[in-house]
């Protein structure tokens, strides 16, 4: 009589450490997503005391120190600015342009953009950097 049992080997996957790994990945991506800036074009913004936030669909116009124009992070020629704004704001109710200008640019550059916005009946809001009190 053979009373010995046959030992069977069953494959097993250890998943106890996967919970920790998933937690750290989730934490990493949450921290990165809150730190990430949607616009990657570096501009030194002017400072202001009062800040206003917008919740509508916005078109971002960025002008850097060397007067390169970026509409929604796409480089455009200043001569084609009006046409590009028309394309971006077509079908948008109460279109708004968030203007991110370098603080070292002249007032005339600002006036040119504002007059283009007025001509196209587009609201232009200037982005500023909050001052520390």
CA distance 73 to 92: 19
- Domain boundaries, given as residue ranges, for the chain: 47-130
Judged against a pLDDT cut of 60, whether residue 7 lies above it is answered with: yes
* Domain 47-130: assigned CATH number: 3.30.420
CB 46 within 8 A of CB 128: yes
* Nearest residue to 116 (alpha-carbon basis) of 92, 80, 68, 77: 80
For 74-131, what is each residue's pLDDT tens digit? Answer: 999 988 989 998 888 888 888 888 998 988 888 898 899 899 888 988 888 888 777 7
Length of the chain: 133
Higher pLDDT residue, 28 or 36? Answer: 28
* Residues 6+ positions from 105 with CB-CB distance below 8 Å: 63, 65, 67
Question: Is residue 39 over pLDDT 70?
Answer: no
- Is residue 53 over pLDDT 60? no
User: Would the pLDDT of 55 be above 60?
Assistant: no
Task: Identify the band that residue 1 occupies on the pLDDT scale cut at 50, 70 and 90.
Answer: low
């Amino acid at each position: 009589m053979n009373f010995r049992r046959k030992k069977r080997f069953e494959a097993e996957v250890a998943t106890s450490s996967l919970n920790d790994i998933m937690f750290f990945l989730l934490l990493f991506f949450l921290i990165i997503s809150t730190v990430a800036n949607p616009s990657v074009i570096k501009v030194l913004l002017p400072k202001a005391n009062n800040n206003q936030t917008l919740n509508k669909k916005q078109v971002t116009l960025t002008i850097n120190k060397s007067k390169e124009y970026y509409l929604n992070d796409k480089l455009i020629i200043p001569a084609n600015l009006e046409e590009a704004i028309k394309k971006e704001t077509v079908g948008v109710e109460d279109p708004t342009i968030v203007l991110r200008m370098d603080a070292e640019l002249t007032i005339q550059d600002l006036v040119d953009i504002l007059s283009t916005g007025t001509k196209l009946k587009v609201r232009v809001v200037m982005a500023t950097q909050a001052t520390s009190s």
